[in-house]
């Protein structure tokens, strides 16, 4: 995998910081939390999707697919956070409480666990590939 440029690294880091700030703000019940999380998720995912693996390792290719699934979950988390602010979908109140409100936390947890797993495994696999 190619290293990121300086600009890409900055956008990636700012995106990650905005996601963390948005998640913390949401836990503190700030109404602007989705507006922090969503641009951060977009920036983070955009940079991560620009990274390409051009090798032949099937393990790394599989891990990249899992990472893309995690990226989709991060974007869905942003959508769920925005939908959690005041029932914009017009659902019945009990359905809204059951399916939408604060369920973004589950998506974020799954996405974060997948990110941790894939990032650590990809770095290990790339190191093995370099040694061969």
The residues spanned by each domain of the chain are 6-131
Neighbour tally for 106: CB within 10 Å: 12
- In this prediction the pTM is 0.88
- Are the beta carbons of 63 and 44 closer than 8 angstroms? no
pLDDT confidence of residue 14: 98
Q: Around 95, how many Cα atoms within 13 Å sit in the side-chain half-sphere?
A: 6
Crossing angle (nearest 10°) for helices 33-50 and 6-27: 150
Min mean pLDDT across 59-68, 90-99, 107-116 is at 90-99
Q: What is the pLDDT of residues 8-62, one digit of tens each?
A: 999 999 999 999 999 999 989 898 999 999 999 999 999 999 998 988 999 999 9
Q: Is the dihedral of CA 24, 63, 122, 2 positive or negative?
A: negative
- Are the beta carbons of 125 and 53 closer than 8 angstroms? no
- Residue 113 or 92, more confident: 113
Task: Locate 20 and state its tokens.
Answer: 């963390």
């Amino acid at each position: 995998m190619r290293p990121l440029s300086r600009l890409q690294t900055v956008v990636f880091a700012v995106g990650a910081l905005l996601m963390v700030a948005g998640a913390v703000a949401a836990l503190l019940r700030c109404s602007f939390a989705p507006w922090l999380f969503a641009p951060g998720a977009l920036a983070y995912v955009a940079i991560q999707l620009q990274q390409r693996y051009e090798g032949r390792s099937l393990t790394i290719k599989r891990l990249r697919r899992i990472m893309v699934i995690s990226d989709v979950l991060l974007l869905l988390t942003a959508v769920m956070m925005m939908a959690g602010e005041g029932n914009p979908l017009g659902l019945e109140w009990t359905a809204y409480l059951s399916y939408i409100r604060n369920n973004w936390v589950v998506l974020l947890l799954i996405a974060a666990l997948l990110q941790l797993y894939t990032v650590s495994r990809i770095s290990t696999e790339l190191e093995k590939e370099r040694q061969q």
